[in-house]
Amino acid sequence: MKTFGNLRSAVGAPQSPEPMPLSLLNDFLYCARRAALKAIEGVRSENKHTVLGDIVHEHADLPGYEIAKGVTLLRALPVWSERLGLSGKCDVVERHTDGSLAPIEYKKGKRRVFENDDAQLCAQALCLEEMTGRRVDRGAVFHAASKRRREVEFTLELRALVERSLAELRGLLDSQRVPAALFKPACEECSLFEICLPKAASEDSRAERLARQLFQT
């Protein structure tokens, strides 16, 4: 069994070809079109939310470790899973005195529950389990705006959601098709809003209906 102490020596390039980034799972559960625009079309953009997110991650993104109250905090730890075809990094991984591991994800907003955030964190745990041979039962999301920590248990249901969503995401990438836009309130907070144009590109929009009529015979 591998131990936390040799995680750094275990870090290297995954053997599986073209692993999906961990963050793409979060994008997919937030919006499949967003994930496809990023992964298939190579679209990138920034807004105030991405900038604030970068600021929040500044400290966690600096590789290194520290010990606080007997807990070892390893920052910016690369992780991967050959079985799931994933790679990325954990903002922080805690090693407790009993040897248990817990990934910690930093988010810019207030303390709120988002399924996509919990799934991303659980996916990190699955990577750690494959790398170390240790069971990872729980982790946490640290919400910078409220400076509050929210514990997340990696239940069977959450693990199943991650596995199912990754299969759907892989199918989306294999299809090389970007889903049609569907406007919802969360769209206006997305960094790709001005590129995606969900109000104009939505299948139910007047512009889309006119475009279909134009090419009908």
Mean pLDDT score, 42-48 = 65
Model confidence pLDDT, tens digit, residues 47-67: 444 434 444 445 556 778 899
Q: 81 and 133, same structural domain?
A: yes
Mean pLDDT score, 164-182 = 94
CA distance 207 to 17: 40
Distances (CA, A) of 24 to 29, 35, 56, 191, 212: 9, 6, 19, 14, 31
* Domains: count for the chain: 2
Q: 196 and 93, same structural domain?
A: no
Model confidence pLDDT, tens digit, residues 76-114: 999 999 999 999 999 999 999 999 999 999 987 666 678
CA distance 217 to 19: 43
Q: Cα 62 to chain center, whole Å? A: 19
Residue 5 clears pLDDT 60, i.e. is over it: no
Q: In terms of pLDDT, which residue wins out, 139 or 199? A: 139
CA distance 73 to 91: 10
Long-range contacts of 54-59 (CB under 8 A, 24+ apart): 55/108, 56/106, 56/107, 56/108, 56/144, 57/91, 57/106
Residue 142 clears pLDDT 50, i.e. is over it: yes
Q: 43 and 87, same structural domain?
A: yes
In the structure, what pLDDT confidence band is assigned to residue 126 with cuts at 50, 70 and 90? Answer: very high
* Domain span including residue 138: 4-179
Q: 185 and 174, same structural domain?
A: no
CATH of the domain at 14: 3.90.320.10
Q: 155 and 198, same structural domain?
A: no
CA atoms within 13 A on the CB side of 13: 4
The dihedral sign for the CA sequence 16, 19, 22, 28: negative
Q: 190 and 148, same structural domain?
A: no
Calculate ∠ Cα 198-122-171, nearest 5°.
50
Model confidence pLDDT, tens digit, residues 178-215: 998 888 888 878 888 788 888 776 555 555 555 556 55
Residue 23 clears pLDDT 60, i.e. is over it: yes
pTM over 0.75: yes
For the chain, the C-alpha Rg in angstroms (whole number) is 19
